[in-house]
Structure 1
């Protein structure tokens, strides 16, 4: 069995308060131009729901599997042939608003082979700092 087939996946979940309305925040989570401002080097959309995330000049294809305007977006990563893989990596962005305090939170679920929780925490802290600079929150 190839090594890649035996790699265990890890579900990392983190939540951040964001001082911006869901309406302002959502385009930064679901549009190519918004994501390219804080999440990766560049993002291109091919054929509607196929997103090409570029990190270190390398393409990483994902499908926007689901979204709810001003609420959530899910990206499921595809294999090198742009096909769905079993137990694929995915990324969920969930916007939650406290009805009591009116505070807005962004919950990130990162499902991948990366198991170093400290490294994931630092990476997401850094990314969310960039996002907050973009949305003013």
Structure 2
């Protein structure tokens, strides 16, 4: 089995960090763009897609800055993260997605994130 590597994607967003964070860290916000149904209990999100359920535990978070999650079936060192940065130069809000994939799958996984984030932008009116 190939070892997964971390990769990072950046998306400029026309939205305040506080509003964006709500879409990244709450069941209602995540259900708008990330999964068909989202529940949260005991620091674990349950994401449902077409009846399939995957769980991710919250590893760390700072309001309006980032949330880091790990699929409960993933190795301890792997996670996915939504980070919000505001450019010092342009004051533009930037969403940074960090995830892990095998090298040969990074392009496909990036495309999947592009699709998901496009849906997020549609929901926030971007």
Does the pair score TM above 0.5? yes
Q: Is the 8 A contact 1:89 1:112 kept in 2?
A: no
Residue in 2 that maps onto 1:87: 76
Residue aligned with 2:110, SS: helix
Q: Does 1:125 find its partner at 2:119? A: no
Structure with larger Rg: 1
Q: Does 1:102 find its partner at 2:64? A: no
Residue aligned with 2:21, SS: helix
> Distance in 2 between the 1:114 and 1:55 partners?
25
Residue in 2 that maps onto 1:71: 65
Unmatched segments (≥5 aa) in structure 1: 1-5, 80-84
> Distance in 1 between the 2:110 and 2:72 partners?
24
The match for 1:44 among 29, 39, 47 is: 39
Residue aligned with 2:70, SS: strand
> Cα offset for 1:7?
4.3
Residue aligned with 1:20, SS: coil
RMSD of equivalent CA atoms: 1.7
Deviations 1:29-49 (A, max 9, x none): 0001101110112111122x1
> Cα offset for 1:13?
1.0
Q: Does 1:33 find its partner at 2:33? A: no
Residue in 2 that maps onto 1:3: none
Deviations 1:43-78 (A, max 9, x none): 11122x111111231111111111110010001111
Tell me the TM-score normalized by structure 1: 0.83
Residue aligned with 2:32, SS: helix
Aligned residues, how many? 126
> Distance in 2 between the 1:76 and 1:127 partners?
18
Residue aligned with 1:110, SS: strand
1:1-40 equivalence runs, <5 A? 6-40=1-35
